[in-house]
């Protein structure tokens, strides 16, 4: 059990954290405050907020030290250990001219059947009800970073977004989309200038032998999900796979493996800030 100091910290890191918190509050005035947070009225947990801010500052330092302008960033928002997965959600993080970092990502809206793209500050990215403060950063080569930045600027990133959300969307169908799938398809358009649409991105990924993770979902679990979860559907998966309970979907780990195999990342960083603290 750790013992906290009786007096507040007043060193350089404390003042950097205060500056970081001020920037976060300014970002909230511009971008939706509910983005990436649970849709309930539970009061905020001060310890978790401070831990999230400290962790975000640690991630920001790692990004600045990397020299990158853009990266793929992932978080561990849920416990996925039963599926042998660590990270639940990814986005694209880019450095603004003023030095701040912002995450562009697809977010499911309150467990509904729809999603939207949000851009928010790094601190807000970790203010969700996190399972663990752990982050994966995949840094593409500089030419690919510039290509991805161009795809964000020219509207391609927005056009790739499918608002019909499915947490377990089939990796090679355009009917639905999950957040990791949006990020992977954006990566595909940047990696090959001939790729512009979702269907083209998926054909390219197949040709490049991208392998989605296959998750075993028993029949009763599928039935329960269809009945009670608006953001989980199975009708986009091939019938045989669906009946066998083999659900092939885009995960952070499969994106990481694909980028490693095709030299689409120059550097990989993993940062662990531990489990959330409670009051």
Task: Indicate whether 1 belongs to any domain.
Answer: no
Residue 6 has pLDDT above 90, yes or no: no
Residue 3 has pLDDT above 70, yes or no: no
- Which pLDDT score is estimated for 224? 59
- Which pLDDT score is estimated for 48? 87
Instruction: Answer with the residue of higher pLDDT: 155 or 6.
Output: 155
Total structural domains within the chain: 1
> If you average pLDDT over residues 106-135, what whole number do you get?
93
Return the half-sphere exposure (C-beta side, CA atoms, 13 A cut-off) of residue 241. 18
Task: Indicate whether 279 belongs to any domain.
Answer: no
Residue 82 sits in a domain whose CATH number is 3.90.1720.10
Question: Where do runs of H (alpha helix) occur along the chain?
Answer: 12-30, 46-66, 122-125, 142-153, 156-159, 179-191, 198-207, 219-228, 239-244, 252-261
Is residue 254 a contact partner of residue 116, using CB atoms and an 8 Å limit? no
Residue 276 has pLDDT above 60, yes or no: yes
Task: Indicate whether 2 belongs to any domain.
Answer: no
Write the burial class of residue 122 (CB in 10 Å: 0-12 exposed, 13-18 middle, 19+ buried).
buried
- Which pLDDT score is estimated for 110? 87
139-189: per-residue pLDDT in tens? 999 999 999 999 999 999 999 999 999 999 999 999 999 999 999 999 999
Residue 245 has pLDDT above 80, yes or no: yes
Task: Indicate whether 251 belongs to any domain.
Answer: yes
This prediction's pTM: 0.85
Domain that holds residue 267: 12-274
Task: Indicate whether 5 belongs to any domain.
Answer: no
Task: Indicate whether 67 belongs to any domain.
Answer: yes
- Which pLDDT score is estimated for 46? 86
Residue 51 has pLDDT above 90, yes or no: yes
In eight-state DSSP terms, residue 69 is: S
Task: Indicate whether 243 belongs to any domain.
Answer: yes
Is residue 56 a contact partner of residue 120, using CB atoms and an 8 Å limit? no
Instruction: Answer with the residue of higher pLDDT: 47 or 65.
Output: 65
Instruction: Answer with the residue of higher pLDDT: 11 or 4.
Output: 11
Sheet with 115-121, edge to edge strand ranges: 115-121, 101-108, 89-95, 70-76, 132-139, 267-274
Distance CA(56)–CA(223), nearest Å, equals 38
Distance CA(64)–CA(51), nearest Å, equals 20
Beta-carbon count within 10 A of 218 CB: 9
Distance CA(191)–CA(193), nearest Å, equals 7
Distance CA(213)–CA(250), nearest Å, equals 6
Task: Indicate whether 7 belongs to any domain.
Answer: no
């Amino acid at each position: 059990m750790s013992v906290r100091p009786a007096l507040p910290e007043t060193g350089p890191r404390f003042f950097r954290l205060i500056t970081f918190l001020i920037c976060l509050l300014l970002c909230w005035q511009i971008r939706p405050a509910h983005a990436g947070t649970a849709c309930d009225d539970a009061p905020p947990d001060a310890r978790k907020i401070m831990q999230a801010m400290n962790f975000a500052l640690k991630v920001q330092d790692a990004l600045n030290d990397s020299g990158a302008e853009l990266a793929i960033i992932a978080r561990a928002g849920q416990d996925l250990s039963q599926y042998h997965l660590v990270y639940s959600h990814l986005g694209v993080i880019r450095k603004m001219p003023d030095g701040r970092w912002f995450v562009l990502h697809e977010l499911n809206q309150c467990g509904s059947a729809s999603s939207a793209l949000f851009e928010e500050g790094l601190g807000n990215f970790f203010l969700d009800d996190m399972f663990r403060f752990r982050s994966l950063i995949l840094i593409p080569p500089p030419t690919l970073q510039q290509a991805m930045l161009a795809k964000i600027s020219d509207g391609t990133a927005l056009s790739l977004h499918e608002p019909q959300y499915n947490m377990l969307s089939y990796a090679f169908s355009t009917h639905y989309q999950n957040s990791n799938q949006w990020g992977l398809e954006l990566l595909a358009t940047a990696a090959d200038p001939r790729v512009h649409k979702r269907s083209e991105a998926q054909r390219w990924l197949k040709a490049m032998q991208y392998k989605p993770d296959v998750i075993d979902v028993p029949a009763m679990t599928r039935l329960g999900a269809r009945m009670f979860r608006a953001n989980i559907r199975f009708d986009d998966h091939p019938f045989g796979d669906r009946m066998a309970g083999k659900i092939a979907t885009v995960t952070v780990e499969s994106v990481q493996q694909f980028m490693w195999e095709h030299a689409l990342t120059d550097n990989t960083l993993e940062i662990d800030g531990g489990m959330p603290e409670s009051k």
